[in-house]
Amino acid sequence: MRTKLLIFFLLAVLQTATVSAIIPNPSRFTHCSGEFVIDANTTLSWDEELRDAAIYLLEYLPLRHFAQTGNGTNSIRLSIDSSLPAEGCALRIDTDRITLSGGSYGGVFNGIQSLLQLLPAQVYAKSLHLPVSVGCCEAVDAPRFDYRGLSLDVARTWIPADRVKRYIDLLACHKINKLHFHLTDDEGWRIELKSHPEFARTGGFRGGDSPVHPRYAKFDEKWGGYYTQRELRDIVEYARIRNIEVIPEIDMPGHSKALGAIRHDILCDFVPDTARTNGLDIRNVWCAAKESNYALIDDIIREVSTIFTSKYIHIGGDEVDMSQWRKCPDCQRLKREKGLNSEKQIEDYFIARVTAILAKYGKVPAVWNEAVDGGTLPKATRVHGWQSIKHCLRAVEKGYPTIVMPGAYFYFDMKQSANEAGHTWAAIFDAKKVLSFDLDRNGFTERHLAKVAGLEASFFSEIYIEHSPEKSDYLDYMLFPRLCAFAEVAWSSRKRNWDDFHSSLVTDHYDRMQAMGIAFRLCTPNVKYADGMLSASTDDGAVIYYTDERNGKRTRYTAPFPCDAPEHFAFCSEYGSAGSCTTGSKEYLRMLTPQVTVTSSMTCSAKNPIENAATYSNKIARTTRAAHAGDWIAYSFAEPMSCRKIEVQTGHIHLRRCLFLAGHVEISEDGKTFVRAAELHNGGAVICPDKPLTAIRIVADGNSDAEDNVVIQSLKIK
Ligand code: ACM
Ligand code: ZN
């Protein structure tokens, strides 16, 4: 197989290639003279095993003449050519016919994607009118990796089946062929089990009367959902037609709070200290010592095995809070009896037991990289290296087939620039950094590469729930165009340059994504203030708008304009359904850092002292307990402070945790008399004071969330 791929690539580079605007870019693309006209009489024919691919193509291309065989004039022929690599394809557009062959169904499907991208963008809106002409060319292509995936967390934020199918469509258009489906976590259990229907019926919802606690946003409502087995089978089949394999993940032994809230018996037997967490039991790890747990896991795996056709089931293994095993007399007994040296070895034991259950049902485990730290798992175990490139290299060195997915390049829940939504723990990055990913430059030798099964992008959804999760906009924005760049690096190892990629993105792919209905992210406009003139530009031709935040008036930007208060003008750009983040001149973005003293009714930990909240850095202060009604946090300024806007926030910097669930903000001009200025929402509020302030106080109107501390942040003053 490898030799076949090598010969194929050698032949490919020996030919003169020209560049196409196809994303991901084919390894060999040659423009030829002339064009083929697809019209009402064009006949589509296919090899029998390509029937589903043909029907898929017909969703986009409104042809009305079909044949089972033949490749006459005015025809499009889909066929298998077993001399090609499995997912390889050869697409030839001549003046009188189109021939598209692939090494397998997947290869033909990939060729169909190249063909669609050669057609006008409205093909993606399924509104193409015939006749349409397409330039003659030849594209010969095969992917570098068999595994080109996206991991989607539907556990933290629920995404219904029809929207998952939409993402499957969007992945397919980018030749991404795996969906790693993160179905369970602390915040939800999304998969119907006939043997334990209560897992999904109860665990699919958090908040309200559900025992599953609402951890991130929508605190005062019951919210969620789950997939029935029928829906899941439908998703698997929908994906199969689109050359996508769905790999389910049941995250164990950690990340299991939702299930533990329904089935306390899976947890370790010790009395949790709930006094500091407003009564909530925050245990989330399966007890490794209970035989009943392995019987329950058998039930789960038996059903999951029948729903998903993938050979793999991802069984988690990440971020296990080992302190729970340390406190558990049963786990400690297990450790002694089995001669285990550490809690880490308890994890090895647990994963080995689950692996044996998987084997019983003909499945192979996939795990997060922590699970192979011990190196004792069978070498067929597939490892998803998420923590860093080093962790991926380590897994590869140990001989495990590894999916490379370092957060700093491929976690699309990270912010794309400093002033946008998202996490920052791995990195802040946009599509340009994704495109720069290079295994060779990161120390992967030929020997390492032989063990790299592929690449994966991911979206974890902790904060999606606070961004109108009933719609796709936030997810679209976080995924695209980063996923386009990902598709490119997962497809080939060609040397790339951002300017060329960006150019094909803007000139061709923007319109395709538009027609696909994606609310993708545009480059942030560049805004400048100089000599009393405010000006803005973009490098992608999108339309720029600006808003005067004093009166809310929104205007289309056409040319620099005179302005004496640039700090009030917010800019953004739009291109149909796509948009940029809001930005402005440096005067607009400037933050004030007046001298402030922070005090609280709650004491703070020595490690994260209250003074941290006075530094205007991202240092946080942590209290030593949860909050109750009447608790307060006060910010007193050394001098009366004038500003345009103050953002007040309790809780973690990016996650709605360790916060005041209910509360209000009071402001004071003289430091003595306070007036109520805003109610907290998700632990925060925005105040636009019209007079200089001397103090601000955040007051709790009820308990904080179920964590053992409250996080106090600096004010953000604009
Ligand atoms: C992970 O991000 N915990 C796999
Ligand atoms: Zn235990």
Residue 533 falls inside a structural domain: yes
Q: Are residues 501 and 547 in the same domain?
A: no
| Domain stops at, among 115, 141, 167 | 141
Which pLDDT score is estimated for 281?
A: 86
Substitution site in 150, 319, 409, 411 for ligand 1 pocket (most atoms within 8 Å of beta carbon) = 319
pLDDT reported for residue 1: 45
**Boundary (domain end) residue, out of 496, 516, 536:** 516
Note whether 366 and 381 are within 8 A (CB).
yes
Element housing 676 (H / E):
strand 675-679
Q: How far apart are CA 546 and CA 562, in angstroms?
A: 13
Question: Domain holding 571: CATH number?
Answer: 2.60.40
Average pLDDT over residues 347-374: 96
Query: Which-ligand-closest: CA of 425?
Result: 1
Distance 362 CA to ligand 1 centre (A): 26
Residue owning the nearest CA to atom 3 of ligand 1: 318
**Are residues 206 and 344 part of one domain?**
yes
Residues with CB under 5 A from ligand 2 (ion): 268, 287, 289, 328, 330-331
Q: Which of 546, 533, 535 is nearest to 573 (CA)?
A: 546
Give per-residue pLDDT as tens, 112-136. 999 999 999 999 999 999 999 999 9
Rounded CA-CA distance 357/250 in Å is 13
Q: Are 137 and 30 in contact (CB under 8 A)?
A: yes
Sheet holding 716-717, edge to edge: 684-687, 646-649, 716-717
Expressed in angstroms and rounded, the spacing between residue 278 Cα and the centre of ligand 1 is 27
Closest CA to 62 of 41, 87, 45: 41
SS3 636: strand
**Is residue 313 classed exposed, middle or buried when 0-12, 13-18 and 19+ CB atoms within 10 A define those classes?**
buried
> What tens digit of pLDDT does each residue of 404-461 get?
999 999 999 999 999 999 999 999 999 999 999 999 999 999 999 999 999 999 999 9
Confidence tier at 72 by pLDDT (50, 70, 90) = confident
Q: Do residue 64 and residue 88 come from a single domain?
A: yes
DSSP string, 371-418: GGSS--S-TT-EEEE-S-HHHHHHHHHTT--EEE--HHHHBTTB-SST
Find tokens 């723990």 and name the residue. 425
> What CATH number did the domain enclosing 452 receive?
3.20.20.80
What SS3 class is residue 541?
coil
CA atoms within 13 A on the CB side of 297: 28
Residue 16 has pLDDT above 70, yes or no: no
Return the CA Rg of the chain: 28
Instruction: Say what the pLDDT of residue 68 is.
Output: 74
Whether 681 and 579 share a structural domain: no
Domain of 81, CATH number, reads 3.30.379.10
CB atoms within 10 A of CB 686: 15
Nearest CA to ligand 1 atom 2: 386
Q: Are residues 116 and 178 in the same domain?
A: no
The residue out of 516, 536, 558 marking a domain boundary is 516
The answer as to whether 6 is a domain residue is yes
Mean pLDDT of 607-626: 95
Tell me the C-alpha distance between 569 and 551, whole Å.
10
Nearest-angstrom CA–CA distance, 407 and 482: 13
Q: Look at residue 521 and tell me if it is in a domain.
A: no
Query: Which is the closest atom of ligand 1 to the Cα of 255?
Result: 3
Whether 624 and 558 map to the same domain: the answer is: no
Q: Which residue from 453, 327, 304, 430 is spatially nearest to 382, judged by alpha carbons?
A: 453
Distance 300 CA to ligand 2 centre (A): 20
Closest C-alpha among 573, 561, 572, 569 to residue 585: 569
Pair (136, 266) in one structural domain: no
Q: Check pocket membership of 94 for ligand 1, CB cut-off 6 A.
A: no
Q: Are residues 221 and 362 in the same domain?
A: yes
Which of the ligands is closest to the CA of residue 268? 2
The token pair at 511 is: 């319109």
Give yes or no: residues 378 and 345 share one domain: yes
Q: In this structure, what DSSP letter does residue 535 have?
A: E
Q: Are both 215 and 355 inside the same structural domain?
A: yes
Asked whether 318 lines ligand 1 (CB < 6 A), one says yes
Give the three-state DSSP class for 452.
strand
Q: What are phi and psi of 508, to 5 degrees?
A: -120, -50
CA 305 – CA 314 distance, rounded (Å): 11
Percent of the chain, pLDDT > 90? 92
The whole-number average pLDDT for the span 37-57 is 96
> Which SS3 state, helix, strand or coil, does residue 659 take?
coil
**Nearest ligand, CA of residue 323?**
2
Q: What is the mean pLDDT of residues 327-342?
A: 97
Ordered strands of the 533-537 beta sheet? 526-530, 533-537, 561-562
Number of domains in the chain: 4
Q: In this structure, are 7 and 66 located in the same domain?
A: yes
pLDDT tens digits, 555-606: 999 999 999 999 999 999 999 999 999 999 999 999 999 999 999 999 999 9
Residue 544 lies in a domain: yes
Mean of all residue pLDDT scores within the chain = 95
Residues 426 and 573 in one domain: no
Q: Is residue 482 part of a domain?
A: yes
180 CA from centroid of ligand 1 (Å): 12
Q: Which atom of ligand 1 is nearest to the CA of 407?
A: 2
Asked, for residue 327, whether it belongs to a domain, the answer is yes
Task: Tell me the ligand closest to 324's alpha carbon.
Answer: 2
Kindly list the distances between the CA atom of residue 62 and the CA atoms of 47, 56, 123, 128, 684, in Å, as whole numbers in the listed order: 19, 11, 9, 7, 51
**Which atom number of ligand 1 is nearest to the Cα of residue 460?**
2
Quote the domain boundaries for residue 619.
596-717
Q: Is the CB of 368 under 6 A from ligand 1?
A: yes
Q: What is the pLDDT of residues 482-531, one digit of tens each?
A: 999 999 999 999 889 999 999 999 999 999 999 999 999 999 999 999 99
Q: What separation in Å is there between the alpha carbon of 484 and the centre of ligand 1?
A: 22
Residue 215 reports pLDDT greater than 80: yes
Q: Furthest-apart CA pair in the chain: how many Å? A: 89
CA of 318 to the centre of ligand 1 (A): 6
Q: How far is CA 397 from CA 148, 393, 447, 454, 513, in A?
A: 21, 6, 9, 15, 39
Could you tell me if residue 271 is inside a domain? yes
